[in-house]
Amino acid sequence: MKNLFIYLATLFLVTIPSAVYGCSCAYSAPAMAFNDSKVVFIGKMTGGTEKNTLQERDGSSYEIESGEVTFEVGESFKGKPGKTVTIQIASMKGTSCGTYGLRRGETYVVYAYAYKPDMLSSGVCTRTGTVSQAKEDVAFLRSLPPGGSGGTITGRVSLDTKAITGGGARPLGGVSVRITGPMQKTVTVLTDKEGKFEASGLPEGKYKVAPKFPPNYYSDQGIDEVTLSDLGTVSTRFEAYYKGRVLGQVFDADGVPFNDGFFNLGNSTHSTYGHSMGKDGRFEVEGVPPGEYKLYIDTYDNNDKVREYYYPGTYDPAKAGIIKIALGETKSGLRFYLSEGIPCADHKRSGTLGRRDPRREGRGVIALSAKPEARRIYRGDCSAKRRNRQERPIYDRSYRRSGLLAGGPGQKRRGIFSFTWAEDHGEHEYTE
């Protein structure tokens, strides 16, 4: 069924000659299209069950046919199409790609895919085309070695350098790639200076491709499974990352762990993003190349202007702490403190709430829940003083907090949570 998925996934992305302008398509090379096809042949199109008329730019018209399309096979290169073969070809009428079809009497190079157990399909976003247009395909097919010569697995391994310019990735040479196929037979190859590898003469079947990365590098993609056809080519690629990591905790001005946000570890040439781990204010930045960096988060003032706030706790980049990372090193134990005035942490409170649930969240508002003892989220300024003020209205509802009692980080505070909306009003005790 893999070929069916390839066909359906690409069905809406291709153009046909002059009549179509709405979509485009990225084609695989002939050897790869050959690998994924069930049947490949050159033949004359003799008719289809659906007919449509198209116009050229000069005003002349011509007829194309789709639906169940029949061919007289002249040369067969893969599969057993017989002397005549019928293939399902979608007309694409009414889609952004425009109406698609083939012209009766033309000779085509046809790449056909498994559609149903007893039906083949082809069409847009395949390499199927007239012989006059498919010269590269004709040359490839007519120069194929004898059947049984085996196929080829190619690939590339690159390293994400986190560089700000230049694409951020470079080839990773000297990587050992283990290719395991039918009967558990294994071939091992090395990537060249361009990060490329190739293994040829392999019998058709399913293969597992697994690079072995050098120390201080890793990849999220350990193994790629591919299916190789005789005389075909299948390609894969892997991306590696540096093992460098930065681990730490971040706290707001009240000493409350900050569990929401993205972090940037960067310098003038490299930039690596990190994220909250969702508990105890812990954060992690992975894939860090060796170098010296500053860590910061983006904050927003009342005018939604972005300001970079640096570790260990300053807006001044000159006062930011320098974090040095060696190749593959993990730097842990960082403690990042946010100042008052930064819209930041999510403060969780419990209490008995009203029967309505606006389900609104955002900076400077409280999201209510209809469930007793439910959790509420306050997203606002890290300053306790600001949290005592009335919050700005959202839609037709307004929210405010009053009676907040003093208490340090980790101590409970009690008070009255007041709210209003169009149909209801009430005051409920809460615990922070």
Encode pLDDT of 269-298 as tens digits: 999 999 999 899 999 999 999 999 999 998
The two structure tokens encoding residue 33:
């299209």
Domain count, the chain: 4
Residues in the chain, how many?
A: 432
Last residue of a domain, one of 299, 314, 337: 337
Are 178 and 284 members of one domain? no
- Band the pLDDT of 423: cuts 50, 70, 90: very low
Residue 415 · residue 401 · CB < 8 Å? yes
The vertex-345 CA angle with 329 and 295, nearest 5°, equals 30
Last residue of a domain, one of 242, 267, 287: 242
The two structure tokens encoding residue 81:
């199409």
- Band the pLDDT of 338: cuts 50, 70, 90: confident
The domain that holds 210 is classified in CATH as: 2.60.40.10
Residue 258 · residue 281 · CB < 8 Å? yes
Are 251 and 215 members of one domain? no
- Band the pLDDT of 266: cuts 50, 70, 90: very high
Are 129 and 159 members of one domain? no
The domain that holds 77 is classified in CATH as: 2.40.50.120
Instruction: Quote the CA–CA distance of 195 and 190 in Å, as a whole number.
Output: 9
Are 13 and 119 members of one domain? yes
Query: Over 50: is that where the pLDDT of 111 sits?
Result: yes
Q: Please state the rounded mean pLDDT for residues 248-252.
A: 90
Are 375 and 330 members of one domain? no
Are 308 and 259 members of one domain? yes
Are 411 and 279 members of one domain? no
**Containing domain of residue 412, as a range?**
345-431
Are 123 and 194 members of one domain? no
Q: Where are the beta strands (DSSP E) in 196-339?
A: 196-202, 205-212, 217-218, 224-228, 233-242, 244-251, 262-266, 271-276, 282-288, 291-300, 306-310, 323-325, 330-337
Are 192 and 233 members of one domain? yes
Are 21 and 134 members of one domain? yes
pLDDT of amino acid 375: 29
Query: Over 60: is that where the pLDDT of 233 sits?
Result: yes
Sign of CA dihedral 330, 334, 338, 344: positive
Are 22 and 135 members of one domain? yes
Last residue of a domain, one of 227, 242, 257: 242
Q: Please state the rounded mean pLDDT for residues 127-149.
A: 96
- Band the pLDDT of 166: cuts 50, 70, 90: confident
The domain that holds 263 is classified in CATH as: 2.60.40.1120
Give the count of beta carbons closer than 10 Å to the beta carbon of residue 255.
11
